[in-house]
């Protein structure tokens, strides 16, 4: 069996959930997924939404070639179903691998468009995850309009310049049903998060967005956890995606107190940081 191509993408956390105001914002974090396109068919574990089948269908709908014989291998550090954008990361990595193997010559915007279409087709996203997909393939944060094409979607973007530690609190499987109407009812809180983004107060936006998502999903535990961690010195704490994971951002010098609090909580904890430069040469 030969490797025809391989590519990486990364996880991300939410700054603004796209269901609240029809605008979304996410930022990449240093948890990777690697997808290999190989010369023999492979069984894909945990492909609950048949995402790879959708990727192949969208790829062919665009008129792009597929190898005569191929399969997929996935190696991922990203927890699935936790709001950490695993589907966006897998989609981007798979499409980047196809792009390389077939010499298609797609740019980042075109890869994002195909990844978004693939996620919509398999039903693993409500919004299309345009913001999440951009965060999986590029550094920094982007405020996007998910109703537009990728090349036209970016409203505002920026970088996190300070060195931070990100703690991810994994709270098990998602249990709450996501209702669009519940998110729309929290529009005032989402508007506060959007205002923070427009003022380049990204950490305030993460926390405020988390409050809005907690209200929309009736997740009182998340509010309690976030308030406690901010009182311990975290500069941001909020639900990522629709949950259940919580992202906590800390300056390095304040991280030990937060670390002790988290590792006594009984939840699984992952430590990581923001992606500084996720650019790669596209063939």
Annotated domain spans of the chain: 3-158, 164-272
Instruction: Return d(Cα 98, Cα 56) in angstroms, integer.
Output: 9
pLDDT of residue 264: 86
Helices 130-137 and 108-122, axial angle in degrees (round to 10) = 130
Instruction: Return d(Cα 58, Cα 64) in angstroms, integer.
Output: 9
Beta pairing, strands 141-144 & 154-158: antiparallel
CB distance 14 to 238 below 8 Å: yes
CB distance 33 to 278 below 8 Å: no
Stretches in the chain below the pLDDT threshold 50: 278-283
Instruction: Return d(Cα 283, Cα 260) in angstroms, integer.
Output: 45
Instruction: Return d(Cα 150, Cα 65) in angstroms, integer.
Output: 22
pLDDT of residue 277: 67
- 102-107-110 Cα angle (round to 5): 90
pLDDT of residue 49: 80
Tokens linked to 251? 């300056």
Tokens linked to 69? 């014989």
DSSP state of 29: E
CATH architecture of the domain covering 164-272: 2-Layer Sandwich (3.30)
Query: What distances in angstroms separate CA 181 from CA 13, 18, 177, 189, 212, one per listed residue?
Result: 22, 13, 12, 14, 13
pLDDT digits (tens, 9 = 90+) for 96-139: 999 999 999 999 999 999 999 999 999 888 887 999 999 999 99
Tokens linked to 131? 């913001």
Nearest Cα to 229, choosing from 206, 261, 186?
Answer: 261
Nearest Cα to 88, choosing from 151, 13, 148, 163?
Answer: 13
pLDDT of residue 48: 65
Q: How many CA atoms lie within 13 A of 215 on its CB side?
A: 18
**The domain defined by 3-158 carries CATH number 3.30.230.10:** yes
ω into 244 cis (within 30 of 0): yes
């Amino acid at each position: 069996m030969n490797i025809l191509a391989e590519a990486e993408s990364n996880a991300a956390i939410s700054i603004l959930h796209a269901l609240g105001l029809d605008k979304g914002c996410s930022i990449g974090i240093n948890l990777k997924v690697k997808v290999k396109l190989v010369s023999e068919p492979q069984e894909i574990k945990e492909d609950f939404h048949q995402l790879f089948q959708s990727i192949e269908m969208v790829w062919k709908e665009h008129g792009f070639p597929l190898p005569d014989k191929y399969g997929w291998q996935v190696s991922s550090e990203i927890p699935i179903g936790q709001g950490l954008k695993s589907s966006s990361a897998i989609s981007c990595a798979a499409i980047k691998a196809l792009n390389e193997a077939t010499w298609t010559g797609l740019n980042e915007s075109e890869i994002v468009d195909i990844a978004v279409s693939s996620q919509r087709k398999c039903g693993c996203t409500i919004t299309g995850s345009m913001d999440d997909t951009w965060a999986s393939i590029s550094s920094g944060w982007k405020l996007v309009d998910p109703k537009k094409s990728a090349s036209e979607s970016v409203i505002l973007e920026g970088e996190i310049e300070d060195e931070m530690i990100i703690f991810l609190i994994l709270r098990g499987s998602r249990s709450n049903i996501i209702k669009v109407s519940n998110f729309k009812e929290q529009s005032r809180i989402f508007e506060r998060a959007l205002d923070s983004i427009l003022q380049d107060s990204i950490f305030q936006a993460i926390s405020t967005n988390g409050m809005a998502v907690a209200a929309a999903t009736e997740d009182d535990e998340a509010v309690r956890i976030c308030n406690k961690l901010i009182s311990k010195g975290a500069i941001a704490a909020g639900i990522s995606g629709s949950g259940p994971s919580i992202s906590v951002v800390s300056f390095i010098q304040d991280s030990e107190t937060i670390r002790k609090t988290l590792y006594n909580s009984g939840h699984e904890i992952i430590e990581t940081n923001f992606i500084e430069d996720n650019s790669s040469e596209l063939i």
